[in-house]
Amino acid sequence: MDPIHRPETLQRDLQFMALALREAEKAGDRGEVPVGAVLVLDDGRFFSAGNSVIGLSDPTAHAEILAIRAAACEIGNYRLVKSALYSTIEPCIMCMSAIIHSRVDRVVFGAFDPRWGGAGSIASLHQDLRLNHHPLVTAGVMEEPCKGLIRDFFRERRAGAVKIKDAPETAD
């Protein structure tokens, strides 16, 4: 049986995606876009993070990047061979580039990202033969709760925004 489809692999995927979801919820509570990620090394150590773009005033502080940075710092090497990265949403092009550069072997994500997704939605960097590394990608793990978290976050944001057409007229 293909190792990706073994019951123990699915169980592991669900376990780490649940942890990524918790990180996403914490990010949302901080006012960040609710995305969470977990990077798991082959020895079982793992590093989790939530989006921190706003809090750090850093456009690169996506959950995936922060998890990669933490793991690389811990092991003292940017090459994270035999590792897996779990993300609640399809990694964007920037994050997929970092995943490829850091030699992550496998990417597991929940919800697709039709606007920014770099693992199949708008680009398939993991399949680009011009690149030197091609991680395996598993999509749609716990897709509904991951998609729901993002959807609800943006619904609340839109509901709280004052729409121009509804704004009171000013007397000048």
Instruction: Quickly state the pLDDT bin for 3 (edges 50, 70, 90).
Output: low
Residue 128 placed within a domain = no
Predicted TM-score (pTM) of this structure: 0.89
Residue 49 placed within a domain = yes
Number of domains in the chain: 1
Residue 129 placed within a domain = no
Residue 52 placed within a domain = yes
Q: What is the CATH number of the domain that holds 111?
A: 3.40.140.10
Tens of pLDDT, residues 130-166: 899 999 999 999 999 999 999 999 999 888 875 545 5
Residue 18 placed within a domain = yes
Residue 11 to residue 102: CA distance in whole angstroms: 25
Residue 164 to residue 99: CA distance in whole angstroms: 40
Mean pLDDT throughout 89-117?
97
- For the ranges 65-69, 125-129, 147-151, the lowest mean pLDDT is seen at 125-129
Q: Which of 8, 23, 32, 64 is catalytic?
A: 64
Residue 69 to residue 91: CA distance in whole angstroms: 15
Mean pLDDT rounded to a whole number for the chain: 92
List 109's β-bridge partners, or say none.
Answer: 87, 139
Residue 94 to residue 116: CA distance in whole angstroms: 9
Residue 164 placed within a domain = no
Mean pLDDT throughout 52-70?
98
Residue 169 pLDDT exceeds 80 = no
Residue 1 pLDDT exceeds 70 = no
Residue 12 placed within a domain = yes
Q: Give me the pLDDT at residue 172, please.
A: 43
Q: Give me the pLDDT at residue 4, please.
A: 64
Tell me, yes or no, if 64 is annotated catalytic: yes
Q: Which of 80, 95, 147 is CA-nearest to residue 126?
A: 95
Residue 100 placed within a domain = yes
Q: Which of residues 127 and 165 earns the better pLDDT score?
A: 127
Which residue range is the domain that position 72 belongs to? 7-122+137-158
Token pair listed for 18: 């649940």
Q: Which of residues 141 and 168 earns the better pLDDT score?
A: 141
Mean pLDDT throughout 76-92?
98
